[in-house]
Amino acid sequence: MGKLVKFNTNYQGLGIDRVMACKTIDSGVVIDAGTAITIDIMSGGVDLGGYILPGISALQKCYGEISENLNHNFTMEIEREILPYNTVEAISYGGIGMIISLIENIAKIFEKEGADCWFTDDPQKFLGKKHYICTLWPNMVLNNNFHEI
């Protein structure tokens, strides 16, 4: 199906779900989270590329592979302004904090150019309770203008 969709990109191997979400906007940042977290950048209807990060489950598994002492589920109640005081908070802060920092940095760069940043799913599910610089757009893929496919 991906070859049937008109989409201006040089990205090799871009999944159809990411294509359809990106086609929804002309310019901005699109963030989708699942098994992996993808961050795609659009400008003037052209896909500029993006990033793929491990999803929360993969990051949690990674910590457990480092040491059994780090084999914990993340807490979504981290406060990035306060240093962690235990192992669960420390791995949560490390894992979730690096994802949030990357998203915030990318969003700020493109916000200067007047582009918005969108989550395709509720960020509280994978990044915790704090409000983020990006806006939630549920079912972004389904909101695509399908007559342009």
CA distance 95 to 87: 12
* Residue 116 falls in the annotated catalytic set: no
Parts of the chain with a pLDDT under 50: 1, 145-149
Question: Which pLDDT belongs to residue 149?
Answer: 38
Catalytic hit among 17, 32, 47, 121: 17
Phi-psi region of 82 (alpha: psi -120 to 50; beta: other; left: phi over 0): beta
Contact in structure between 36 and 54 (CB atoms under 8 Å): yes
The string over 66-83, giving b where at least 16 C-beta atoms fall within 10 Å of a residue's C-beta and e elsewhere, is eeeebebebeeebeeeee
Question: What global pTM score does this model have?
Answer: 0.81
Identify the three-state secondary structure at position 113: coil
Question: Which pLDDT belongs to residue 129?
Answer: 63
Which phi and psi angles does 105 have, rounded to 5°? -65, -45
Domain at 127, CATH number: 3.30.420.40
CA distance 92 to 100: 11
Residue 59 has what DSSP assignment?
H
Question: Which pLDDT belongs to residue 142?
Answer: 61
CA distance 25 to 38: 16
Pairing of strands 46-54, 8-9: parallel
Range of the domain at 46: 2-148
Question: Which pLDDT belongs to residue 67?
Answer: 96
Number of domains present in the structure of the chain: 1
